[in-house]
Amino acid sequence: MASAAVGFRFALAIVFLLAGVAKLPRRREFTDAVLGYGLVPPNVGRLVGRWLPSFELAAAVLLGVGLATAIVAGLIGLLLAGFCVAIVANLLRGRSIDCGCFGVVAERRITWLTVARNLVLLFMAVTVAVVAPAALSLDELVRASDHAGVSDRAAFGLLMAAVLGVLGTSVAQEAIRLRRLMTAFESRGAGSA
């Protein structure tokens, strides 16, 4: 379980780094996506839109270097649980809105797959919060403790696996989206001919 928790820590760091970086330069558009959920008062939505990207970046950095790992993973877990509730509430209302998950770089509509993805990330966050892996981390230095049998070399390997896994998943998702767009474009062209 310790090895999985180390890999999950790095995967969450990468996912939240990408999410925060995508949202940060376009906070206004992201704020509009938050308000689009229609679940919080506008003042709260604007506050979330302004500060969530910075929180995501800070959480990504802290998880990446392994500082306050259990606390940060717990906060990310709460955030992901909130995302799941917001998405499910809108899906049950029959609404198809922009997820806002990775900023407005590529608009993505909420679906049940969005909920499933967030539940997987939530599971990862809970695992990291409970196990609090210290391998290849500042927590290890601060606590000067054993890191449950996961060597720094193995942790580095898990970091590389997490990078490749997250990037591979992102590339696959974009390839699927591109394929759908091309198919739609081709069918429109055939329909007008």
pLDDT mean for each 10 residues of the chain (193 residues) = 86 92 89 93 94 94 90 96 95 92 70 93 95 78 59 65 69 66 74 62
CA dist list (Å): 162 to 5, 14, 97: 11, 8, 29
Q: Which pLDDT tens digit goes with each residue over 72-113?
A: 999 999 999 999 999 999 999 999 898 888 765 556 889 999
Q: What is the pLDDT of residue 12?
A: 95
Domain boundaries, the chain: 2-192
Amino acid (one-letter) located at 36: G
Q: What's the whole-model pTM score?
A: 0.74
